[in-house]
Structure 1
Amino acid sequence: MTTSIKQDVLDLLTDQHHEIKALFGQLARAQGADKRELFERLVRLLAIHESAEEIVVHPTARRRIAQGEKVVANREHEEDQAKRELAALYDMGVEHPDFDARLASLAEAVIQHATREELEEFSALRQNASPEQLRLMAGAVRAAEAMAPTRPHPHSGESATANLVAGPPMALFDRVRDGVRDWRQSHHEQD
């Protein structure tokens, strides 16, 4: 994974796509506590990743690429569907008998989405934004990720405005829930 300060936004997000794909693969083989931990990592990464894209990348793509509105609307629709399914899987839990089949279906949809995003949106942005703009956008994505919710919130909307308004309070709530969950797990393991 590229972590240089000079990394541009498209390389950063593509690296995250690779990490997401790897987590799906690991999850398909995992059991028990490992499966739960990997799923929590996946949920967090997807929620943060999509929020940052919605705040930083999609608005720029709308303005800078040919048919930007159509391309972004299609990606946002896919992201909304994935958020809803991810939230349902989170509520269901990794032990549910339908979890694996639904996770496999989500993995396929997310991987197809990432591929379309890279081919349609990212490649067009690379052609229509300067290298410096793309590097600056990477910094903006990192800042957006720092304040993004750690769980999908499908009813909050997928626009940049919705993420900027609702994101910080949801992120705070999510991080408190994460802390309580982690504390419970660590204390339960000691019993």
Structure 2
Amino acid sequence: MSTTQDTDVIAVLTHDHREVEQMFSELERLGESDVDRRRQLTEKVIIELVRHSVAEEAYLYPAVRELVPGGGELADRELTEHAEAEQTMKLLEQTDADDPDYEILLGQLMSVIRTHVREEEGELFPRLRDNATPEQLAELGHKVQAIKKIAPTRPHPAAPDTPPANKVLGPFVGLVDRMRDAVTGRGKD
């Protein structure tokens, strides 16, 4: 049985951040030499980032709006960063790993995500922790973990990013994405 701290939304999302950073570090170590591994690892990064973003948009940001003074402005800034990252991920998916633009797009994605992580961990998470109960944080953590299992795995820049539309369309889009991934083998090592 997990403890409240294990499912605390901040712990869950921070763990996601560390996993993505590990993949970024591996991509940086690979350099441009191993094109197939770069593409494979980039696909894993995109899958994780999309699931993470969907979870934040469905549950974290609405909670920040509700619980944190000035949370609406904070959530709006984070959603803008998500939109920028999603556009970059879409372009990255459409670019061959040996194309010179691939390296530029990958660098842009890493920069945007690293900035986003610093802001969330440095400002948003502490403010949420100060304004939410441990029970609220645990409940949010459970919801985030659940939606990540059914969330889309590909960027959909035109999809809604706020409730209720994202909660209704997300699982359906996620099912379609996972079916496409199964057929193509995308995201498998």
What's the TM-score once normalised by structure 2's chain length?
0.91
For 1:153 and 1:144, how far apart are their aligned partners in 2? 16
Identify the residue that residue 165 of structure 1 maps to in structure 2: 168
For 1:170 and 1:92, how far apart are their aligned partners in 2? 22
Name the CA shift for 1:93/1:163 in 2 (closer, same or farther; >3 Å). Answer: farther
Identify the residue that residue 84 of structure 2 maps to in structure 1: 81
Name the CA shift for 1:94/1:5 in 2 (closer, same or farther; >3 Å). Answer: farther
2:37 is equivalent to residue 71 of structure 1: no
Q: Which runs of at least 4 in structure 1 moved beyond 4 Å after TM superposition?
A: none
For 2:92 and 2:126, how far apart are their aligned partners in 1? 32
For structure 1, the residue ranges without an aligned partner over 5 or more in a row are 187-191
Query: C-alpha deviations, 1:25-82, integer Å up to 9, x for none?
Result: 2112332221121111101000000000000110000011010110000000010110
Work out whether residues 91 and 105 of structure 2, in 8 Å CA contact, stay in contact via their aligned partners in 1: no
Instruction: Tell me the SS of whatever aligns to 1:41.
Output: helix
Identify the residue that residue 150 of structure 1 maps to in structure 2: 153
Amino acid at match of 1:25: S
Instruction: Tell me the SS of whatever aligns to 2:140.
Output: helix
Query: C-alpha deviations, 1:75-99, integer Å up to 9, x for none?
Result: 0001011001111101113222210
The number of residues matched between the two structures is: 183
Out of 81-90 and 151-160, give the one that drifted further: 151-160
What's the TM-score once normalised by structure 1's chain length?
0.90
For structure 2, the residue ranges without an aligned partner over 5 or more in a row are none
Work out whether residues 58 and 72 of structure 1, in 8 Å CA contact, stay in contact via their aligned partners in 2: yes
- 1:5: Cα distance to partner? 4.8
For 1:103 and 1:181, how far apart are their aligned partners in 2? 22
For 1:28 and 1:180, how far apart are their aligned partners in 2? 29
Amino acid at match of 2:19: E
Equivalent pairs: percent with the same residue?
Answer: 34
